[in-house]
Chains A and B, each alone.
Chain A
Amino acid sequence: MFRNYLKVGLRYLLKHKGYTFINVLGLAVGITAAILIMLFVRSEHSFDRFHSKADRIHRAWLQEFYEGQIFTNVVTPVPLAPLLQENLAEVETVSRVAGIGAPIHHRGNIFNYPVTMVDSTFFDIFDFELIKGNRQNPFPSKNSIILSEEAATLFFGNISPIGETLELEIGGEKRLFTVSGLTKNVPYESSIQFGLLIPFSNAVHIWSDYVRTSAWSNVSVETYVLLKEGADPAKVNAKIPSFMQPLVAGNYKAGEYNVRLQPLTDIHLDNTLPAGMVAPSNPLYSYILATIGILILLIACINFITLSVGRSATRALEVGVRKVLGAERRQLIWQFWGEALLLTLSALLLGVLLAYLLLGQFNQLANREFVLNADVFTLLFCFSLLILIGLFAGSYPALVLSSFRPVQVLKGKVRTRGMGLFGKGLVVGQFVASIIMIICTITIGRQLHYLQQKDLGFEREHNVIVPTNQQGSAAALLANRFIAALEKNPQVIDATTSLYSMAEYGWMQLGYKDDKDVFRLFRFNVIDPDFVKAMDLEVVEGRNFMEGNPADSNAILVNEALVKEYGWDDPIGRKLPGAYPQQIIGVVKDFHFESLHTSIKPVVMALKPDAFFENSSDVSYDYSPRPRISVKFRGGNAQEHIALLRENWKEVAGDQEFEYRFLDDALNAAYEQEQRLGNIVQYASLLSIFIACMGLFGLATLVVQRRTKEIGIRKVLGANVSTLVGMLTKDFVVLVLLASVIAFPVAWLVLKRWLQDFSYRIDISWDVFLLAALVSVLVALLTVSYHAIRAALKNPVHSLRTE
């Protein structure tokens, strides 16, 4: 019996090659999309789960209420870890993780490679694989260092690094470290990334005793806690205030200083907390992608059903004959589901092949390095796709075709008229999804274009940022020599040094209490007198800093947002009330020193930072305060510019590594996630409309078949081809228009929510909706007109004979 089904199934599929091709291709494309999106979503949800104790590991985070403001940090005070260990019986062990700036001197070169300082319990908590070394005693001495494979290759090539030495500059002194271990490279799906690990005992070179033992307002390290088996994190969280509050009582009332534990596995997709070592991901994006994947699959399945409806007239006779010969409905159900599974299997094989071939492009699109392995999860995923799609897509032929009564089908009385509403409903559903995706594609594209083209208030083109990676006078000396060397070159228009360049989205944040005891925050940058000119900032009131004017070292420039916040009409000559002695000498027009996700905040720019650091009660920063040099070129070849910079850098900086970033690349990086989403939605909408059109093609087959006699009669009575084509296509246009009406509000809601993430955004305009509807109608018309024209051109004698 099974062999007979298989035989008929295969022969049927081979005989109706067009039908099979459309079905297999549609499903395969849907499956490809599903597999690729699965890789992405799976990666997003597997972060940090590779640690065997992942369910017991938590990261401490801190919430402070201070002067009416809320400060949330995942970076915590240095003494927090030992405090938690001492006071909580549920804690098995703790480890601090701190990224530190420590230039590495090696074989005459200076590398700015990230160095991470961890407690010796690090490997007790986490499962990072130690290829060489001792997990129980990873750092035999304070001057031990553990390298990842990547770091080992960078510094020592292919030789075994164990026992080799590296010189790290920590706390202003060079210190020799001996390699005591080698780890596998940290997986991408880890919220803790490192290349070089040194023991936390080196903290004495970086932080004062006070910071290391009792500075509860000073945050510097991430604190990880391993709870004992069976410990309840909620209960642990509840216990913390009892021993924490007495320590901070001087500055905070009860409930104003809260330390909480966040499960390790929640870190990656919880973007309500600020970024730690690795920026968290917006969970919305994996939900959007999963929805897109499901939608595409659904469209492909609906296609299968629509095409089955289209072909049901031919299959009905077979059903009748089989029933007459003794087949039971149950047997026919299995036959049709078997065929659907067979077809889905072919589509699955093709889909996996396509996914494999397109993985490179998808990796580029998603900026990842996914691998398609035949692991248990992937195999199970594919098997589930096979069963779910097979059962769902085959449900129409299996359940409806098998119910046909032989008396009716053998007399040719089964009309597919009853399928009309069903088939139409399916097509409308497909076009709703496609139209939503088209509208989203266009709008996301427009928003990205807006972000990239918006006047930021400064010049972004032909600007290269070179970090000094030095501090204090060493940085100033290096920057001055570098700029002096560059200025001789006619291609360089300007070069300027500032603590933060425009490429760092997030300047230093300072807070102070003003004369009315109101806590105020502003963004702060240390610049040189050339900064305003080099960045094309506009001074709208007062003046810029003047070169060689000693009085200006006691002056500041502010932005319009600051003036507005204080409500001043005459800002020039004023001081920030309360804390700082500097006078405002100029106001610059607001410029976007942060991404367009956020609105412009008050800014202060000064030549000298010292008074600000001394007088601020709160200092925080995301990027290390090491001056950057911004170089503005006349235009021309970017590679030549880099070569020029590199050459001059070598002259003034000697062995120190040369780093650079193009300003516009750095700015665009802020919208990378949106850009990627935009690209993926664009591909998804193309796919969905392509698959939906296949479904439409199928439905057109059905309609034309059903109306063959009507077409013949109309022709005999004098209808011309264009009238007939119009008549046949009109219904489809109505379907697509109906789909548009349903899709519009959904798309509007989705986009409204998405655009809320941007402080600066476009309005959702109606032309996008019209355009999407128009594109869909046109594509639908093109698809349907093939059948319509063929039917209209047919000799009526043949049409009438079919009855």
Chain B
Amino acid sequence: MIKITNLVKVYRTEEMQTTALNQLNLEVKEGEFVAVMGPSGCGKSTLLNILGLLDDPDSGSFLFNGIEVANFNERQRSSLRKQHIGFVFQSFNLIDELSVFENVELPLIYLGVKESERRKRVEEVLDKMQIMHRQKHFPQQLSGGQQQRVAVARAVVNKPHLILADEPTGNLDSSNGNEVMELLTDLNEQGTTIVMVTHSEHDARYSHRIVRMLDGQTVLTDIMV
């Protein structure tokens, strides 16, 4: 599904230049659950942003389902993103002014799905995440675990092929964290490819494979049994 070859991303400021990704190579197969680990500043988040088409690489190749996307323009990236990719963030990033239902509905609106269809799909996914009873609540009325479940629901409502999770349990206690990891595992078992950045060895153990990064490169891959 994802094939990255010799990817380079350099951040430049007036004073200095930082190489975030340095000739990075990575392949993720359809249906895989990959955890990316490494010390702070090793380029994990940059990698995730490029995978999510939120950022563009300076050089190298990025094939998504066999199509070269490294040079996509903003509109092409936005279109690919809303059709194929779901995001889960450490800090949930729900919109405070929208209810649970409306937050989850948002990707479908941008996808141009009809209202009746939207309702059906949002209810389906809220039910699956067991937060149906909270659909009219606003984010600030929910616990952290519930908020992350809403965020996961929002990430999967458009049935993406790929979910990118950036430290999804980082702001949660262990029991809520475990619940979220269970959810991601379930989604993966149903066929969704997941790439997760994490600092937690415990969370990484839910994945099939751990990619370890250092100084913008992959240094080791652990295959989980």
| Chain A residues within CB distance 8 Å of chain B | 1, 4, 7-8, 11-12, 15, 317-318, 320-329, 331, 405-407, 410-411
Contacts and interface: CB of A to CB of B under 8 A. Distances in A.
A322 B52 CA distance: 14
Given A12-B97, A407-B49, A407-B54, A323 B78 contact: yes
Given A317-B93, A407-B49, A326 B98 contact: no
Nearest to A9: B97
Contact of B107 (A8, A15, A326, A407): A326
Interface of B: 45, 49, 52, 54-55, 74-75, 78-79, 81-82, 87, 89, 93-98, 102, 106-107, 109-111, 154
A321 B110 contact: no
Nearest to A10: B97
Given A15-B97, A324-B52, A406-B54, A4 B102 contact: yes
Contacts of A321: 93-95
B96 to A, nearest CB: 7
B95 A327 contact: no
Given A324-B87, A325-B154, A410 B110 contact: no
Nearest to A331: B110
Given A325-B87, A326-B110, A327-B110, 17 more contacts: A4-B102, A7-B97, A8-B95, A8-B97, A11-B98, A317-B93, A321-B93, A322-B106, A323-B54, A325-B107, A325-B110, A326-B82, A326-B111, A327-B78, A329-B74, A331-B110, A405-B54
A18 B49 CA distance: 36
A335 to B, nearest CB: 11
Tell me the interface secondary structure of chain B in the complex.
Answer: helix
Contacts of A318: 95, 97
B66 to A, nearest CB: 22
Contact of A7 (B54, B75, B82, B102): B102
Contacts of B82: 325-326
Contacts of A327: 78, 110
A318 B139 CA distance: 13
Residue of A1, A321, A327, A406 with highest tally of chain B CB at under 10 A = A321
Contacts of B55: 405, 407
Contacts of B111: 326
Nearest to A4: B109
Nearest to A318: B95
A317 B154 CA distance: 16
A320 B95 CA distance: 10
A168 B127 CA distance: 95
Contact of A15 (B49, B78, B79, B96): B96
Contacts of A12: 97
B107 A328 contact: no
A410 to B, nearest CB: 6
Contacts of B79: 326
A328 B78 contact: yes
20 contacts: A4-B102, A4-B106, A7-B102, A8-B97, A8-B98, A317-B93, A318-B97, A321-B95, A322-B95, A322-B110, A325-B106, A325-B107, A325-B110, A326-B78, A326-B81, A327-B78, A405-B55, A407-B49, A407-B55, A410-B54
Contacts of A324: 52, 54, 81, 87, 93
A11 B102 CA distance: 13
A450 B146 CA distance: 73
Contacts of A329: 74
B98 A320 contact: no
Contacts of A4: 102, 106, 109
Contact of A410 (B89, B96, B107): B89
Nearest to B110: A326
**Nearest 8 pairs of A and B residues by beta carbon:** A326-B82, A326-B110, A11-B97, A325-B107, A407-B54, A321-B93, A407-B55, A407-B49
Contacts of A317: 93
Nearest to B50: A407
Contacts of A326: 78-79, 81-82, 107, 110-111
Contacts of A328: 74-75, 78
B98 to A, nearest CB: 6
Nearest to B166: A410
Nearest to A11: B97
A327 B95 CA distance: 14
Contacts of B89: 410
Contacts of B94: 321
A73 to B, nearest CB: 70
B7 to A, nearest CB: 16
Contacts of A406: 54
A697 B31 CA distance: 53
Contacts of A11: 97-98
Nearest to B105: A4
A11 B140 CA distance: 14
A322 B93 CA distance: 10
A411 B45 contact: yes
Contacts of A7: 97-98, 102
A209 to B, nearest CB: 87
Contacts of B75: 328
B89 to A, nearest CB: 7
A321 B54 CA distance: 11
Contacts of B74: 328-329
Contacts of B109: 1, 4
A509 B195 CA distance: 99
Nearest to A328: B78
A328 B98 CA distance: 19
B97 A410 contact: no
A645 B111 CA distance: 87
A405 B56 CA distance: 12
A85 B169 CA distance: 97
B18 to A, nearest CB: 13
A410 B154 CA distance: 16
A407 B53 CA distance: 10
B189 to A, nearest CB: 25
A666 B102 CA distance: 70
A317 B81 CA distance: 18
Nearest to A329: B74
A492 B78 CA distance: 92
Contacts of B52: 324
B97 A320 contact: no
Nearest to A323: B78
A328 to B, nearest CB: 5
Residue of A7, A317, A325, A407 with highest tally of chain B CB at under 10 A = A325
